[in-house]
């Protein structure tokens, strides 16, 4: 199954959750939005493989969203759906660039069939992703990664969100004897806890409501290759015990099944937490920690490897260009500003900034006025001085800080119970999970 994310855009909360659950059970990572404008914000910050969008939504409907996606993200396929399906609307959607059209109500199998056709099983751009390593620290880590790749040892990649842990995981896979096998990644923080077990271990038809057919889990999908357990520290203690058994016995049993399936794969794991502290606090099993921590690699934040910043910026710009398009160069002041920035979001933040820069820049020189460090504050008249650029987005940062503090306070007062926190804040549990994931990506420590 693909590790690309499917974005579901639907204004009906119940249907939105049902669609998300259907795709999650089938092994797809998902994100959700209630209308077009919210979807565009998600597309700006996330790698999306497919958009599944309703037509009738407000304030931005599905046809308007489709138009925007075709301009801003032409490579992303869009599957439209509507309860008011007519031949005319289907033709309009297809002419607008939609790859297909579903008329509500439709069976879950019909959705899965379309999604499986449209989402590639491997992301070609990541299959042999280039490693940018100019800083001495990064070069040393690359050398260590290549050396451990020749063994079958379990590697624990540690570091803040956005430091490139998955890129290093792919480097280890591509430098190993398993390079011709599959590389399967699963983000343990992005999947609801009650679904993660089924997605990891697989399930038989009828094992769960919505289990429409026998489905291999991520362990089976990674046979002969490498399985990456991304953000392993977000896994519940109960599931940690089951995972430990699978790692020790090298065999897995599908949910609802009775057959033990032998495993031949390598396991890598990542975490943005200090697992020793998590063990001491009783939130992570000590035996699982030692099972994973055979060969630890710690990736420093981007601000601590400054010689990587400009090579990465050039690489990320080049990756966004169309064939035949010439990459712009950076002015000296722009370079100084990039090197002076603290990069709390690390490489992911730099990638987002470079994408925005290409949109704002209208010449072959990227200057300070083209660098918008706060996506929510983009205007048609970006800052013209270095001081203005540094102060850009201060109000939005303040508002975000207030919201983040409210969530952190609620997590503390409700002792981490997500359901009680959502009730206290007056938002849905799914919205809370989304906001917590965004905070975690920004480097905010989330209490358990």
pLDDT at 122: 38
Distance, in Å, from the CA atom of 340 to the CA atom of 447, rounded to the nearest integer, reads: 31
Q: Note whether 309 and 388 are same-domain residues.
A: yes
pLDDT at 128: 43
Q: Note whether 327 and 413 are same-domain residues.
A: no
Look at residue 113 and tell me if it is in a domain. Answer: yes
pLDDT at 394: 44
Contact 231, 282 (CB under 8 A): no
- Domain closes at, from 246, 274, 298: 298
Burial 106-123 (b: 16+ CB within 10 A, else e): eebeebbebbeebbeeeb
Domain assignment of residue 262, given as a range: 125-298
Element spanning 155, H or E: strand 155-158
Distance, in Å, from the CA atom of 335 to the CA atom of 195, rounded to the nearest integer, reads: 45
pLDDT at 400: 57
338: left (phi over 0), alpha (psi -120 to 50) or beta: alpha
pLDDT at 299: 96
The count of other CB atoms within 10 Å of the CB of residue 4 is 18
Q: Note whether 23 and 83 are same-domain residues.
A: yes
Look at residue 446 and tell me if it is in a domain. Answer: no
The 3-state DSSP class for residue 323 equals coil
pLDDT at 298: 96
Helix axes 394-413, 418-425, angle to 10 degrees: 130
The count of other CB atoms within 10 Å of the CB of residue 219 is 24
Count the domains in the chain: 4
Distance, in Å, from the CA atom of 81 to the CA atom of 142, rounded to the nearest integer, reads: 45
Q: Note whether 137 and 273 are same-domain residues.
A: yes
pLDDT at 94: 67
What stretches in the chain show pLDDT beneath 50?
1-3, 121-129, 375-396, 398
Q: Note whether 271 and 332 are same-domain residues.
A: no
Look at residue 55 and tell me if it is in a domain. Answer: yes
Q: Note whether 293 and 169 are same-domain residues.
A: yes
Look at residue 361 and tell me if it is in a domain. Answer: yes
Contact 181, 163 (CB under 8 A): no
- Domain closes at, from 249, 264, 298: 298
């Amino acid at each position: 199954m693909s590790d690309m994310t499917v974005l579901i855009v639907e204004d009906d909360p119940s249907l939105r959750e049902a669609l998300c659950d259907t795709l999650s059970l089938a092994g797809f990572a998902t994100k959700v939005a209630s209308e077009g404008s919210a979807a565009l914000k998600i597309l700006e910050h996330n790698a999306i493989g497919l958009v599944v969008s309703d037509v009738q939504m407000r304030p931005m409907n599905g046809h308007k969203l489709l138009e925007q996606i075709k301009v801003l993200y032409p490579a992303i396929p869009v599957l439209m759906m509507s309860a008011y399906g007519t031949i005319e609307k289907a033709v309009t959607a297809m002419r607008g660039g939609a790859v297909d059209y579903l008329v509500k109500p439709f069976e879950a199998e019909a959705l899965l069939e379309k999604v499986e056709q449209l989402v590639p099983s491997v992301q070609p751009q990541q299959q042999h992703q280039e490693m940018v390593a100019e800083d001495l620290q990064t070069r040393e880590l690359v050398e260590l990664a290549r050396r451990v790749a020749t063994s079958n040892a379990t590697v624990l990649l540690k570091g803040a969100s956005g430091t490139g842990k998955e890129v290093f995981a792919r480097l280890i896979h591509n430098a190993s004897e398993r390079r011709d096998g599959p590389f399967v990644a699963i983000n343990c923080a992005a999947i609801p806890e009650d679904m993660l077990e089924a997605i990891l271990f697989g399930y038989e038809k009828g094992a769960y409501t919505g289990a429409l057919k026998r489905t291999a889990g991520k362990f089976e999908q990674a046979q002969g290759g490498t399985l990456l357990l991304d953000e392993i520290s977000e896994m519940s203690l109960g599931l940690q015990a089951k995972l430990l058994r699978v790692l020790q016995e090298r065999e897995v049993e599908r949910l609802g099944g009775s057959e033990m399936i032998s495993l031949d794969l390598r396991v890598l794991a990542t975490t943005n937490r200090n697992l020793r502290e998590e063990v001491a606090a009783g939130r992570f099993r000590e035996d699982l920690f030692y099972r994973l921590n055979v060969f630890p690699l710690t990736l420093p934040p981007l601000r601590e490897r400054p010689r990587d910043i400009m090579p990465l910026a050039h690489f990320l710009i080049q990756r966004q260009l169309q064939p035949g398009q010439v990459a712009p160069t950076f002015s000296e002041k722009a370079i100084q500003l990039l090197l002076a920035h603290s990069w709390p979001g690390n490489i992911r933040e730099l990638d987002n900034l470079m994408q925005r820069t290409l949109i704002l820049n209208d010449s072959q020189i990227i200057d300070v006025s083209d660098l918008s460090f706060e996506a929510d504050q983009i205007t048609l008249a970006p800052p013209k001085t270095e001081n203005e650029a540094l102060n850009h987005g201060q109000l939005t940062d303040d508002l975000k800080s207030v919201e983040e503090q409210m969530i952190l306070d609620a997590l503390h007062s409700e002792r981490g119970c997500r359901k009680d926190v959502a009730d206290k804040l007056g938002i849905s549990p799914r919205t809370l999970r989304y906001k917590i994931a965004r905070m975690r990506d920004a480097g905010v420590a989330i209490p358990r």
